[in-house]
Amino acid sequence: MKPVLSQKTLGSVPGTVRVPGTRPTRPGMLHIGAGAFHRAHQAVYTDDTDWGITIAAPRSREVIDALAAQDGLYTVATLGPDGADLRVVGAIVDTLHIATETERALDLIASEDTHVVTLTITEKAYRDPEGVPGLLARGLARRAERSGAPLTILCCDNLPDNGETTRDAVEPLLDDAVRAWAAEHVAFPSSMVDRIVPASTRATYDRAAEALGLADAAAVEAEPFTQWVIEDRFAGPRPDWNATFTDDVAGWERLKLRTLNGVHSTFAYLGALAGVETISEALALPGARGFAERLIAEQIAPSFTPPDGRSTVAYGQEVLERFANPGIRHRCIQIAMDGSQKLPQRLFATIADLAAAGERIDHIALPLAAWIRFCAGRADDGAELPLDDPLAPVLRESLAAAGERPAARVEAILGIRQVVPEPVASNRELRLAATAWLSDLDRHGAAVTLEHL
């Protein structure tokens, strides 16, 4: 067994690995959501400033316990075409388990020394008033009462208008007095976050241990690309992140959600049905790359205007290159989860805008058909597929009631109002196209459907 990475053992890390210098002593920032994405994104940006982070996990203790045992230190491996580049990140200076330390969590949200609360809690968490939105509301009430100091709550989840979405989740939970105070002193800027960060595996931990000569149970791995576009609307101080600060994040969010995430979900479902493990393998299926390019150029690009000076097609090409990175093993099943929470902004928004502009709706119905087939829980070779989705029971019951006919299955899923908004739900062109694709997928499977395009 190798010794564990910690402040004490840090000195033994070989010179090939970048290590933190003087570490921040006071966390000005509280982050909620201890997933790999935060560790490879916002925490790395923060590591390049003099701010520190208290990282809080709502339920699972695994990551924060590992971090606590390592004095908050962990490794980020950047996986490029020429191999891995490792760096130890020192921005995390404290850990917190919300489920068992709720009072401390509320005190931290209320503390005058906390200036920014960042969130990566996944799309579905914003719909749960008992969860993080409720915690933030109680924390804000305490803050209003104690000091009234300004606070910025910065959403880093893949949602459109994610600042507004966060405010809409928290504000109704405040009483009138706190709501009036918050309107003046709490800011909810939007942000667009981007970096491909697969869930850590044995290989991630082994790579880190090999390079460091130390065990690291909180190691993560990520692609070289990283981007953070933030609405410059903070209530108080903020770290000097090397991000893009702008007045208009919405255009960036749309570009990323519809292009990167839309194509990601498309190949997550097609790849899972075809029985391949990762996105890069799905994109390497015959016909896949051509389909992705057509989807981007003919359906995603005409659905919106990208931010100034940007081209959706050029952005899409870069995204496809990133997806093809063989160093990144991003599993289709990981991206496929929570489809009911992701597809509204990744797919249905695109379809709604295409319909409004009188544009064709055909290729974009294939990912919808693939998702519908995926929800039934079987790959093309009959292997079981997990339906990890908060609406899994609704999706399964709707499909069971619909029977075998593709048209009935499309209608059943489009009829779930929590997922598919009008006028997309009753769009005839979409129904017909999705039904035709679903028949193809049923008959030939995803690989042959792509190949025949």
| 230 vs 380: CA distance, rounded Å | 41
Smallest separation (angstroms) from ligand CS2 to the CB of 226: 9
Smallest separation (angstroms) from ligand CS2 to the CB of 237: 27
- Selected binder of ligand CS2 within 34, 77, 296, 335 (CB under 6 A): 335
Q: Are 402 and 384 in contact (CB under 8 A)?
A: no
Please list every residue from 338 through 377 that binds ligand CS2, using CB under 6 A. Answer: 342
Smallest separation (angstroms) from ligand CS2 to the CB of 216: 22
| 217 vs 173: CA distance, rounded Å | 37
Show the site string, 208-247: x = touches ligand CS2 by CB under 6 A, - = not.
Answer: ----------------------------------------
Smallest separation (angstroms) from ligand CS2 to the CB of 325: 12
Contact between 322 and ligand CS2 per CB under 6 A: no
Our CB check for ligand CS2 shows the closer of 138 and 330 to be 330
Contact between 249 and ligand CS2 per CB under 6 A: no
- Selected binder of ligand CS2 within 195, 254, 331, 431 (CB under 6 A): 195
Show the site string, 156-185: x = touches ligand CS2 by CB under 6 A, - = not.
Answer: --x---------------------------
Smallest separation (angstroms) from ligand CS2 to the CB of 41: 8
Contact between 95 and ligand CS2 per CB under 6 A: no
Our CB check for ligand CS2 shows the closer of 264 and 431 to be 264
Residues 247, 251, 254, 257: what is their CA dihedral angle, to the nearest 10 degrees? -60
Contact between 137 and ligand CS2 per CB under 6 A: no
Number of residues written out for the chain: 453
Rg (CA), the chain: 22
| 383 vs 374: CA distance, rounded Å | 11
Our CB check for ligand CS2 shows the closer of 325 and 427 to be 325
Contact between 194 and ligand CS2 per CB under 6 A: yes
Closest CA to 221 of 237, 249, 202, 239: 202
Show the site string, 257-296: x = touches ligand CS2 by CB under 6 A, - = not.
Answer: ----x--x--------------------------------
Our CB check for ligand CS2 shows the closer of 171 and 194 to be 194
- Which residues, other chains included, contact 259 with Cβ-Cβ below 8 Å and sequence gap of 6+? 296, 300, 312, 315, 316, 319
| 351 vs 430: CA distance, rounded Å | 8
- Residue ranges in contact with ligand CS2 by CB under 6 A: 158, 194-196, 261, 264, 334-335, 342
